[in-house]
């Protein structure tokens, strides 16, 4: 039994969750872990001097729990409730029947060192400022974004962590989140299939 751990990171509202869900339907024995499930309760998230809740930083998340969840999955993916039959219509995947795939999706995946030894492949979705702000304004969050929150906290933190990545991390595939979902899906799916084939060789 082998495992493939795929990171799907990037900007808020970049299409990570949608892409992860579509990949899950196309890939054999595929599971998803979402970083959003590891946010600390609001009472434990710091507030800055402007009154902004600092959600877009590593300290707002139980990152050690996320690592533990991924490691637990890697130890026994078959017990995670993943479908055991091959879902993909792809004949060339028949040989991959003993490979389990985990997609971890979230906005801050590659800036936490303990996670970086777990990835087989890493993808990072980007969006230009205007498009990201437009998409963010259509979403309802709990707690809701306060006026000025995107410009005052969300976008600056995205740029900070993205710069860190570009300086320190290699082998990340950057994806343009303005492209059609189907196009992004084709790119990532083909890439994962190549990775699966390497694993089978």
Q: What is the pLDDT of residue 88?
A: 47
Q: What is the pLDDT of residue 70?
A: 96
Q: What is the pLDDT of residue 87?
A: 46
Q: Is 36 a catalytic residue?
A: yes
33 sits in the region (left: phi over 0; alpha: psi -120 to 50; else beta) called: beta
Describe the crossing of helices 129-137 and 155-168 by its angle, rounded to 10 degrees: 130
Q: What is the pLDDT of residue 93?
A: 55
Spans in the chain with pLDDT lower than 50: 83-89, 91
Q: How many CB atoms lie within 10 A of CB 1?
A: 9
User: pLDDT (tens digit, 9 = 90+) per residue, 43-67?
Assistant: 999 999 999 999 999 999 999 999 9
Q: How many CB atoms lie within 10 A of CB 61?
A: 22
pTM: 0.90
Pull the structure tokens for residue 110: 């590659």
Domains along the chain? Answer: 2-199 (3.40.50.300)
The edge-to-edge listing of strands for the beta sheet with 99-105 is 30-34, 99-105, 2-10, 121-126, 173-176
The catalytic residue among 36, 37, 98, 176 is 36
Main-chain phi, psi angles of 46, to 5 degrees: -65, 150
Q: What is the pLDDT of residue 53?
A: 93
């Amino acid at each position: 039994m082998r495992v493939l751990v795929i990171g799907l990171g990037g900007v808020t509202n970049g299409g990570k969750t949608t892409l992860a869900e579509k990949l899950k339907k196309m890939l054999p024995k595929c599971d998803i872990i979402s970083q959003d499930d590891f946010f600390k309760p609001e009472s434990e998230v710091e507030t800055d001097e402007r009154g902004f809740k600092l959600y877009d930083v590593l300290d707002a998340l139980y990152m050690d729990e996320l690592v533990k969840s991924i490691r637990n999955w890697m130890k026994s993916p078959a017990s995670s409730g993943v479908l055991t039959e091959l879902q993909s219509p792809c004949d060339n995947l028949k040989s991959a029947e003993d490979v389990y795939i985990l997609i971890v999706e979230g906005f801050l995946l590659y800036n936490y060192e303990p996670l970086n030894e777990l990835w087989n492949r890493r993808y990072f979705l980007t969006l230009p400022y205007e498009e990201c702000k437009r998409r963010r304004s259509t979403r309802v969050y709990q707690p809701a974004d306060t006026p000025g929150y995107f410009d005052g906290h969300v976008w600056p933190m995205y740029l900070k962590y993205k710069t860190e990545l570009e300086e320190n991390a290699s082998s990340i595939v950057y994806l343009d989140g303005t492209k059609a979902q189907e196009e992004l899906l084709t790119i990532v799916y083909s890439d994962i299939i190549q990775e699966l084939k390497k694993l089978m060789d």
